[in-house]
Structure 1
Amino acid sequence: MSASSLPQGGLPTATVTGAPLKVETPFRRFVSEFFESKTAVFGLVVFVLAVTIALLAPFIAPQNPYDLAQLDIMDGRLEPGTVGGAGFTYWLGTDDQGRDMLSGIMYGLRISLAVGAGSAIVACLVGASLGLLAAYAGGKTDTVIMRLVDLQLSFPSILAALMILAFLGKGIMNVVLALVIVEWAYYARTVRGTALVERRREYIEAAQCLALPTWRIIFRHLLPNCLPPLIVVGTMQVARAIALEATLSFLGLGVPITEPSLGLLISNGYEYMLSGKYWISFYPGIALLVTIVSINLVGDHLRDVLNPRLKK
């Protein structure tokens, strides 16, 4: 800093030399705190890898396991690392139809991740909107919405989903609809709790005094301040939705046979476990477990980063 020259007022002028100071924005602080956890970074890397494999499955999978022209029934239930009749090496073995398990897992990830993420996004939109409405409107509106939430949460999620799919039947869209119905209440309760606190803040009172439209106050001012807990719940619910879809498919009420998921792959090999053909269910189960754990690792650390009360 230099004060060699004096202005007319007699006060020295200060000149800052060197590199400009970097301003720490909330986003930079969030990224810095998130990457401090090695487990969270590991979970994020594994999840990104799973999503990449799912998206590129048609291009990198050794075989399209659901193209009948590429299957050989004589290769059914081959052990991992065995060379098939056509000279093709099945690194993770085959199922009872001669389908390559490695390819089946890659294609199964596509369905599991799509159903989990799709249902979580729709449930978040529905639940968050109802939660914001309940908190802002109050009165009878709040009472009706929260009684619906209590009613929904009183049923076990898997039981409710089974009842819905027993009525609707199999299909990816029906599974997504069933998961949305059993998941939206979690988002509504979380958003309502946060919105009730934010609704008493001065900026909401100022917006009301300016006679801003209700929809603008809710979605422009109230919703952004409810995003941190919503992001955490959404991350956890994606993992939960994937697990629920796998359970439904394992029980035979999930996706159809022509559109495989990891749960359906596990179900296909269940009856062969006692005969020693473990790989038909084992490897899809490992892929499902690793995917769910990676999402939970990310979500658990997001909870710590986005909740100041949990910071040490």
Structure 2
Amino acid sequence: MTLSTSNTPVRIDSPGRRIVKQFIEDPVAVVGLVLFVLVALIAVAAPWIAPQNPYDLAQLDIMDSSLAPGESNFMTGQIYWLGTDQQGRDMLSAIMYGLRISLLVASISLGLAITIGTIVGVAAAYFGGRLDSFVMRVVDLQLSFPAILIALILLALLGRGVDKVILALVIVQWAYYARTVRSSAIVERRKDYIDAARCLALSDRRIMFRHLLPNCLPPLIVVATVQIAQAIALEATLSFLGVGVPITEPSLGLLIANGYDYLLSGVYWISLFPGIALVVTIVAINLVGDRLRDVLNPRLQK
């Protein structure tokens, strides 16, 4: 948008353009975003770009077990750039497929947790009273316990499985979004535009989700960025402990666990490279989240 005056035209950027402009001013955040996009693309394209399907028994050869990084199959000549595990699976391919499971679990649980937490938080702030008090007591009670403890108890009751892990992560995370949205919505609820909407006899649902919720999105986006990294780390921890995803659909955490018993024997690469992939993914997301927090919160801007 450009405003012309008698002397010099003045350009006013839209909020979205301003956010993008401020975000790319931080090269570290840009690197984090590029890394995360690259990791996501690798995970999505794993079936087409991976050297082998590490979970297809027909493609595995026990003679290739525990090959060091850079060694090759003496018959086919295939080079295993990151080595192989004790079952002869190519670690590069296993990491690509493991990223798919880790990102899939984190993304689905994030979407469900945001939906539930947002609805509960907006309703609690808008209606107030006993509903608000009840919701906040439940949120305070849940947040008083470590997330890993709640997830372990739930998976001990539900059993192993991708769907079970997703359900456990949703139950663990929804309270963060409910508290965030509720805090922002309480401030917005007291403003004049909400009173004006009520005077126009708009329905409560329309006021909550068409007028109140859009003004609560900036802090919700920041929390979601941080929580998806926590969800990936939590899922990896649960899988490492043996209560997460099954061995037929291993994530990065289970890949790390598979090589844990071989570290002292010098076969370090089975755990090392999945661990590096996990750290890079989490660090990249956190870099993006930190920059978004600075951009979306005017108080943190210089």
Q: TM-score, normalised by structure 1?
A: 0.93
What residue number does 2:246 align with?
Answer: 256
- Residues 206-234 of structure 1: CA deviation (Å, up to 9, x unaligned): 00111110000000000000000000000
Identity of aligned residues (%): 68
Give the deviation of 1:112 after TM superposition. Answer: 0.5
Change (3 A) 1:15 1:149: closer
Letter of the structure 2 residue corresponding to residue 79 of structure 1:
A
Q: CA offsets, 1:103-124, max 9 Å, x none?
A: 0000101010111111111101
Where does residue 16 of structure 2 map in the other structure? 27
Greater helix share, structure number = 2
Q: Distance in 2 between matches of 1:101 and 1:227?
A: 40
Q: How far apart are the structure 1 equivalents of 2:104 and 2:70? A: 30
Distance apart, 1:22 and its partner CA: 4.7
Do the aligned partners of residues 269 and 202 (structure 1) sit closer, same or farther apart at CA in structure 2, a change above 3 Å counting?
same
Larger radius of gyration: 1
The CA deviation at 1:17 is 11
Q: 200, 221, 242: which is aligned to 1:210?
A: 200
1:303 partner letter: R
Q: CA deviation at 1:129?
A: 0.8
Match of 1:287 among 277, 280, 285: 277
Unaligned runs of 5+ residues in structure 1 are: 1-13
Q: Following TM superposition, by how much is the alpha carbon of 1:16 offset from its aligned partner in structure 2, in angstroms?
A: 8.0
| Farther off after superposition, 81-90 or 226-235 | 81-90
* Gap change, CA 1:88 and 1:149, over 3 Å in 2: same
Could you report, residue by residue, the CA deviation over 1:257-291 in whole angstroms, capped at 9, with x for unpaired residues? 11111001000000000111100000000000000
**CA distance in structure 2 between the partners assigned to 1:289 and 1:21 by the alignment:** 45
Structure 1 pair 70/209, CA: closer, same or farther in 2 (3 Å)? same
State whether structure 2 residue 156 is matched by structure 1 residue 166.
yes
- Structure 2 counterpart SS, 1:83: coil
Partners of 1:15 and 1:183 lie apart in 2 by: 51
Residues of 2 paired with 1:231 and 1:73: CA distance?
A: 47
Hey, what's the Cα distance between the residues in 2 that align with 1:246 and 1:49?
Answer: 20
Read off the aligned partner of 2:51 and give its amino acid letter. Answer: P
What is the identity, as a one-letter code, of the residue corresponding to 1:291?
A: T
**SS of equivalent residue, structure 2 residue 47:** helix
Deviations 1:21-76 (A, max 9, x none): 65411111111001000111000000000000001101100010000000001111
How many residue pairs are counted as aligned between the two chains? 298
Within 2, Cα distance between the matches of 1:266 and 1:146? 38
TM-score for both structures, normalised by structure 2: 0.96
